[in-house]
Amino acid sequence: MNRVLVVNSGSSSLKYAVVDADSGDTIADGIVERIGEEDGGVPDHAAALQAAFDELDDDMTGLVAVGHRVVHGGPDLYEPTLVDDAVVARIDELSPLAPLHNPPALLGIEVARRALPDLPHIAVFDTAFFHDLPPAAATYAIDRDLAAKWGIRRYGFHGTSHQYVSEQAAEFLGAPLDSLRQIVLHLGNGASASVIVGGRPVETSMGLTPMEGLVMGTRSGDLDPGIYAYLWRTAKMSVDDIESMLNRRSGMLGLGGHIDFRVVHRQIASGDAAAQLAYDVYIHRLRKYIGAYLAVLGTADVITFTAGVGENDAAVRRDALSGMTALGVELDEQLNADPRREARRISTDDSATTVLVIPTDEELAIARACVSLLTNRS
Ligand code: ADP
């Protein structure tokens, strides 16, 4: 039995799961929220981890490793990596690339290493899968010396999910992974799209940071970079304020006031024009990406929806792909409306491109990455 404790430590929440990497079963999972909040929260990440341990109790027995989700691995950390002090220092050095994500992940790693010193701690990077993006997709068209000096490239994120879901799609279709031309749409609070050919990443929507690309729960996605200078110079906003606004108060929240699509649909039904516009902007951006990615591919064998919105919101899936019959993509309305929470096809038999819904499981993917690192070491 290969049980792994998977820790995903954010600035104000700590998600945890104990996963059996062999069977794929989640033994237990949970989230400790409101870290650092005065009212009813827990004071810090150490207390959050202790709360997780208290909750897990007996499920903690028999662990073989602790897997940590780390958002940014920068240019050189892309394999699952056994954490030691040097790796901690390296992740810390990468904090300027991911100021909102890497510091809280490091806090999680440090408290977990102290609490469970006898277990191997393994960092799994959200950028890893996209390390091999082809140069044409990874390169920003800016001064190349400046880009090289500061590590500016498109790194991509949600890599664990894109890889896992593309492998599951191949399994579901009973086709070899290396034969498939895929588009994966990971639509959660964070959202990203990718093109995967033969199991290798070819294009993805997130860039240097997880801000580029699709409209998200609280992030803007693509912007004219001129907006940064304009807000700084004219609205006198600081760079930190602009960054925080674009990360935390934009996207669906900034446009319509809500990040949860169940609420967005209710608001639209009650005639809320702001919610309608937010939804329309979200769908418009998503369709632009799907169209672009179909052009990158020429033909797509499969388009897969995953994550909270992608797995559950039939209206988003319908509106994202409507009117694309000429592009080879046709949804079956009944299959699309089926709320089952398992891998399933939602396209018609005639659709040249198969459309799937596949639940993502980043915790399982991280647990398996940990076990495979340990197995290869021994
Ligand atoms: P995270 O990026 O935090 O991991 P998830 O992938 O869990 O996010 O997605 C969370 C989002 O999924 C919610 O904010 C909500 O918009 C959406 N969601 C969850 N369940 C449903 C549902 N039944 N219908 C529509 N949207 C849903």
Mean pLDDT of 50-74: 94
pLDDT tens track for 275-329: 999 999 999 999 999 999 999 999 999 999 999 999 999 999 999 999 999 999 9
pLDDT of residue 39: 82
Quick check: 38 pLDDT over 90? no
Which tops the pLDDT comparison, 377 or 75? 75
263 lines ligand 1 (CB under 6 A): no
Alpha-carbon distance of 297 to 279, in angstroms, equals 27
pLDDT of residue 87: 96
How sure is the predictor about 71, in pLDDT bands with cuts at 50, 70 and 90? very high
Kindly provide the residue ranges of all beta strands, DSSP E only, lying in the chain, ordered along the sequence.
3-9, 14-20, 26-32, 63-70, 81-82, 121-125, 181-187, 191-197, 200-204, 302-306, 344-345, 354-357
pLDDT of residue 106: 95
Quick check: 209 pLDDT over 90? yes
Q: Is 311 annotated as a binding residue?
A: yes
The highest-confidence range among 54-58, 282-286, 339-343, by mean pLDDT, is: 282-286
**299 contact partners, CB below 8 Å, separation of at least 6:** 181, 328, 352, 353
189 lines ligand 1 (CB under 6 A): yes
Q: Which residue has the tokens 């592009």?
A: 327
Q: What are phi and psi of 211, to 5 degrees?
A: -95, -20
Q: Identify the residue whose C-alpha is closest to ligand 1 atom 13.
A: 260
pLDDT tens track for 232-260: 999 999 999 999 999 999 999 999 999 99
Q: How far is CA 366 from the centre of its chain?
A: 13
C-beta separation of 323 from 313 below 8 A: no
- The rounded Å distance from CA 84 to ligand 1 centre is 34
pLDDT of residue 100: 85
Alpha-carbon distance of 337 to 101, in angstroms, equals 35
210 lines ligand 1 (CB under 6 A): no
How sure is the predictor about 37, in pLDDT bands with cuts at 50, 70 and 90? confident
Q: Identify the residue whose C-alpha is closest to ligand 1 atom 15.
A: 260
SS (H, E, C) 223-274: CCCHHHHHHHHCCCCCHHHHHHHHHHCCHHHHHHCCCCHHHHHHHHHCCCHH
pLDDT of residue 140: 98
Mean pLDDT of 44-58: 93
String of DSSP letters for 199-222: TEEEEES--SSTTSSS--SS---S
pLDDT tens track for 158-179: 999 999 999 999 999 999 999 9
Half-sphere exposure for 222 (CA within 13 Å, toward CB): 13
Alpha-carbon distance of 78 to 115, in angstroms, equals 26
Structure tokens at 124: 């799994």
Percent of the chain with pLDDT over 90: 95
pLDDT of residue 41: 85
Q: Identify the residue whose C-alpha is closest to ligand 1 atom 16.
A: 260
Helices 159-173, 362-377: inter-axial angle, 10-degree rounding: 90
CA distances (Å), origin 196, targets 75, 123, 189, 282 = 20, 24, 22, 23
Q: Which pairing describes strands 302-306 and 181-187: parallel, antiparallel, or unpaired?
A: parallel
Percent of the chain with pLDDT over 70: 100
Q: Identify the residue whose C-alpha is closest to ligand 1 atom 11.
A: 308
C-beta separation of 6 from 60 below 8 A: no
319 lines ligand 1 (CB under 6 A): no
Quick check: 50 pLDDT over 80? yes
Instruction: Return the active site residues.
Output: 126
- The rounded Å distance from CA 308 to ligand 1 centre is 3
Q: Is 376 annotated as a binding residue?
A: no
Mean pLDDT of 213-240: 97
Helices 314-321, 273-297: inter-axial angle, 10-degree rounding: 50
